[in-house]
Structure 1
C-alpha cells in the first residue's frame, strides 16, 4: 500500500469518527429536547386507573350533592361515572369509603397549606389566617365540595362513624394547627387574649356560617364571604389581611 493510500484510509477513519460523534450529539440533543418538551408540557398525565378513580369521585360528589349520603346508591354513582358497579368496587369498598375519599380530596390541600404556613414559628398570625381563609374559599366554598360540609352537618348525627372520621381527620387536625399558631401569636403580643388558642373554634366559625348561609339564605340575602372573613380577621388580630397585587 502506498503512502498516499495509507493517508486516505486514515482520513476516512477520522471522518467516520467525527460523523459518529455528530450523530451521537444529535441523538443526545433530540433526547434532551424531548425530555424538555415533556417537562414543559405541564402536569404529568394521569394513568387510566387514576383518571377512572377521579371520575368516580366526581360522580360521587354530584350524586351525594343531589341525594344526600343516605339516599345515594353506588349503582347511581357507577352509572354517572360510566362504569360497571363491579369496577367501582375495585377502587372503593363501600359508600362510606367513597365519602371519606371525597373528604380527603377536599380538605387535604387546605390542611397541607395551613400546616406548611404555620410551621414557620415566626410567621404572624395574620398571614396564617389569610392562608387558611383563602384556601378554604378556593378549595371548598368556590366548588361543589361545599356540599360535603352540608352533608356532614345534616346527616352526621345519623351516621356517627362519618362524623367521627371527619373529626379525627379534619377538625382535630385543623384545630391543633390553629391553636398552636394562636398561642405563639399571643406570646408575641399579636393577640390581646389567649381565647383563640383555647378555643380555635372561634377562628373557623365564620367558615361554617358561610356554608350554612349559602345553603339556606343565599337566594334571599347573598353573603360577601370574602368581606366577612376580612372583617373577622381584623377583629381577631386588629389588622386587615394584605391584599394580593
Structure 2
C-alpha cells in the first residue's frame, strides 16, 4: 500500500477516535510527504486551521514554517503565513546594520534564521541597499566583518588563502566561523536556504589549499524521522556542496 494512502487511513482513524493532536500531526506529515504541491498545500492548511482551533501552539508554528516553504516553492511568497513577521525581522536587521551594532546585528540575523523563506530577494535588497547606499564602504565593511561575502570599495586584495599572515602560523590550518555567517553570506548573494537545508554545522576552510573545505554535516531538528532513514538525504547532499563556501573563513581571516 502506498505510504500516503496509509497516512490518509490513519488520519481518518484518528479523526474518528477524536484524537485531535494526532490528527494534526498526521496531516502535517502527509503534507510534507505528498508529491503533489496543491494537495500538500491544502493538507497543511487544514492541519493549521485545526491546530489553531485546538490551541496546539507548537504544531501551529511548525505548520506555518511548512506552509511558508510550500508557498515559496510555488512562487507565492506573499501568501506565506510567516511573511509579515519576516518583514518585521528584516527591518530589525536593517536597523542594526544602520546602527553598526555588531552584537544586535548578529542577534537580528539569528532571529531571521527560520524566516528567510518568507522573504523575496527584492525585500532583502530594498532593506539593505537603503542603508548601504548612504555609506557603501563603511556598511559593506561591517557586513564583511560579520560574515557576508561582499566586496568593499577601495579594499586591497587579501593575501592568498593559506598564506602565513604576519608570521602567525596560519598556514595549512582549518579555519572556521559561525554557522549563521555562512548562511547570511548565501542570503546576501541571493540564495535562501530553509531550516532543512542548513546542515553545515561546522564549516571549515583549509588554509594553504585554495578552494578546499571540510565540515560537519548534520540533519536539523526540523527533519522528520523518515528523512533520517534516507540513504541519500537531499539536505545532506545539498549541504555537501554548500560547505564548499566555507572558504570565506579563509579569505576573511585577518
> Do both share a fold (TM > 0.5)?
no
State the structure with bigger RCO (CA 8 A, min sep 6), 1 or 2.
1
Q: What TM-score, normalized by structure 1, do the two folds share?
A: 0.26
More helix by share: 1
More strand by share: 2
Q: What TM-score, normalized by structure 2, do the two folds share?
A: 0.25
Q: Highest Rg: 1 or 2? A: 1
